[in-house]
Structure 1
């Protein structure tokens, strides 16, 4: 009589036991956030102007901007290369001198003119991850660019 009682007790205990990892709660994995891209020496590709997506017509280049450590701003508006200077003396501040460029025409000339116009309006910037927003005097985003890393 003792043997069946002992067997029943062992079986009941074995059925109620859970492995240690199931009984302890593990915290959720922490969200990994990438560091913000650097304003200078980053290849910034234009993605939006005044909140509207930028499309690249066939046989034209993506518009981009690169701000060099020496204060030089250079890029391509889709049709023409441009160059000038920029100032960013305080965190979040960004202004450009008038940009010089070549004057060729192409199907994306309207986008190019809007891009260089947005740069002329720049007074500030915000970087979040790989996104650069160029802001005007009213803190409205006039352009959104994305960091593209060249290998």
Structure 2
């Protein structure tokens, strides 16, 4: 039984490495992504998305910094739970919309300097790299 458990852990570890490599190959990691559009409308304030380490997301909304886990490899997008600092500001409604869309995103596509996140309910987020 210990042998089977060891093999299972090895397979899971190798799969996780391939998933992280896949994300890096397609250019999602090591960049700061700026939200430009939410559901086809220009996003009026600054919001960012980064992939600081394998299995993590982080960034800044209009008011707060946020962070969360990434539970699936590219091109699937499954972030959460998302935590954040708790400052208020005049743009808090935009931040709430941004974080809600981020939590519901289920698919990602990197195409050069563009990252698009979509969800099954039709939500679409368009990011551009800040590099």
Instruction: Return 5+ residue gaps in structure 2 as ranges.
Output: 1-24
- d(CA) in 1 for partners of 2:106, 2:59: 19
Given that residues 133 and 141 in structure 1 are in contact (C-alpha distance below 8 angstroms), is that contact kept between their aligned partners in structure 2?
A: no
Mind listing any 5+ residue stretches in structure 1 that lack a counterpart? Answer: 1-35, 57-61
Match of 2:30 in 1: 41
Could you say what secondary structure the match of 2:81 adopts?
Answer: coil
- SS in structure 2 of the partner of residue 70 of structure 1: coil
Would you say the 8 A contact 1:37–1:147 is kept in 2? Answer: no
Task: Output one character per residue of 1:95-145: Cα deviation in whole Å (capped at 9) or x when no partner.
Answer: 10111101111121111111100111111011222111101025x352111
2:125 is matched with 143
Distance 1:137 1:76 in 2: 24
In the TM superposition, structure 1's runs of 4+ consecutive aligned residues that sit over 6 Å from their partners are none
How many pairs are equivalent? Answer: 107
Secondary structure of the residue aligned to 1:99 is: strand
Q: Paired residue for 1:87?
A: 71
Alignment partners' CA distance in 1, 2:128 and 2:71? 20
How far apart are 1:69 and its partner, in Å? 3.3
Residue aligning to 1:115: 98
- Aligned residues of 1:37 and 1:130 also touching (Cα < 8 A): no
Q: Give the CA RMSD over aligned residues.
A: 1.8
1:117-136 equivalence runs, <5 A: 117-136=100-119
In structure 2, relative to structure 1, the CA distance for the partners of 1:48 and 1:85 (3 Å cut) is same
**TM-score, normalised with respect to structure 1:** 0.65
Structure with bigger gyration radius: 1
What TM-score comes out, normalization by structure 2 length? 0.74
